[in-house]
């Protein structure tokens, strides 16, 4: 199990070593946020990647928000391929193992969304093969609004057609899209039972709590909101043999990453023993 923030913690940036600050918190993952564009030189990415490896921090990347493979605009669809590829190249240079993609909205043509995502990611996969990039997973995120492409079922259909695609499970998004559907242990277990057969070697999670309405997601909330109660997930996964990365997207990115890590009973027990030894 690895835990970390979505983006560089502000205190770490002020100190001039956000990765070192993250590791000092006892966190060992971080998602580099390229949500407004993957603009980073190969040299700078290599430096950051080297520092992450030195600290044993597992990196991932988030692709730009403006990707839309089901857009009515041919230009936007074509640019979406470029935005994904910019992120793929950055991830490759960083040594990040996965990029996270908001693939599409349904727009005026919900019936075309799945095929549009397949077409777009197939083109990205072809470019990756041409460039010899085989170490980056195309992660398609489960989305929180009812107007967005991104259920696990939809993502699994894309996986059937495009190699190297995996789902990224945003637990709060599923909760919001289902208007508060993750209330019980059985609810959460059903979700994990659907996700784990699809996730591959590493299960990539986004965690937070969420404010939602009739159309799903409105805004992310800190974990103390308990929408959903993330303790249920921690208890369910405690002791699991599945390799997992948990990226915190709450407004308290690094603080709640620590909070969620400490929700795991086995981690609390290990910390208790460590503190006694101290």
37-56, pLDDT tens digit by residue?
A: 999 999 999 999 999 999 99
Summarize pLDDT for 121-145 with one digit per residue, the tens. 999 999 999 999 999 999 999 999 9
pLDDT interval class at 114 (50, 70, 90): very high
Asked if residue 3 has pLDDT above 70, the reply is yes
Domain that holds residue 182: 2-277
CATH number at 180 reads: 3.20.20.150
Domain total in the chain: 1
pLDDT tens digits, 79-109: 999 999 999 999 999 999 999 999 999 998 8
For residues 103 and 108, give the distance between their C-alpha atoms in angstroms, rounded to a whole number.
16
pLDDT at res. 268: 73
Tell me the pLDDT of the chain averaged across its residues. 95
């Amino acid at each position: 199990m690895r835990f970390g923030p979505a983006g560089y913690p502000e205190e770490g940036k002020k100190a001039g070593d956000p990765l070192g600050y993250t590791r000092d918190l006892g966190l060992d993952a971080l998602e580099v946020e390229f949500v407004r564009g993957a603009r980073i030189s190969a040299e700078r990415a290599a430096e950051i990647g080297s520092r992450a490896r030195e600290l044993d921090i597992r990196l991932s990347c988030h692709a730009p928000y403006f990707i839309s493979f089901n857009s009515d605009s041919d230009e936007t669809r074509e640019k979406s391929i470029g935005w994904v590829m910019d992120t793929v190249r950055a991830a490759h240079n960083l040594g990040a193992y996965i990029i996270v993609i908001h693939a599409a909205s349904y727009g005026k043509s919900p019936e075309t969304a799945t095929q549009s995502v397949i077409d777009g990611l197939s083109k990205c996969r072809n470019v990756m093969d041409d460039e010899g990039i085989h170490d980056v997973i195309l992660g398609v995120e489960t989305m929180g609004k009812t107007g967005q492409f991104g259920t696990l079922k939809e993502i699994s259909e894309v996986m059937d057609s495009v190699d190297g695609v995996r789902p990224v499970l945003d637990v709060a998004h599923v909760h919001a899209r289902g208007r508060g559907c993750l209330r019980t242990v059985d609810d959460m277990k059903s979700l994990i039972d659907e996700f784990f057969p699809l996730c591959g070697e590493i299960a990539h999670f986004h965690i937070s709590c969420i404010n939602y309405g009739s159309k799903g997601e409105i805004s992310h909330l800190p974990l103390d909101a308990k929408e959903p109660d993330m303790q249920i997930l921690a208890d369910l996964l405690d002791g699991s043999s599945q390799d997992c990365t948990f990226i915190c997207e709450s407004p308290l990115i690094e603080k709640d990453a620590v909070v969620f890590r400490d929700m795991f009973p086995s981690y609390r027990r290990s910390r208790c023993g460590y503190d006694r030894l101290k």
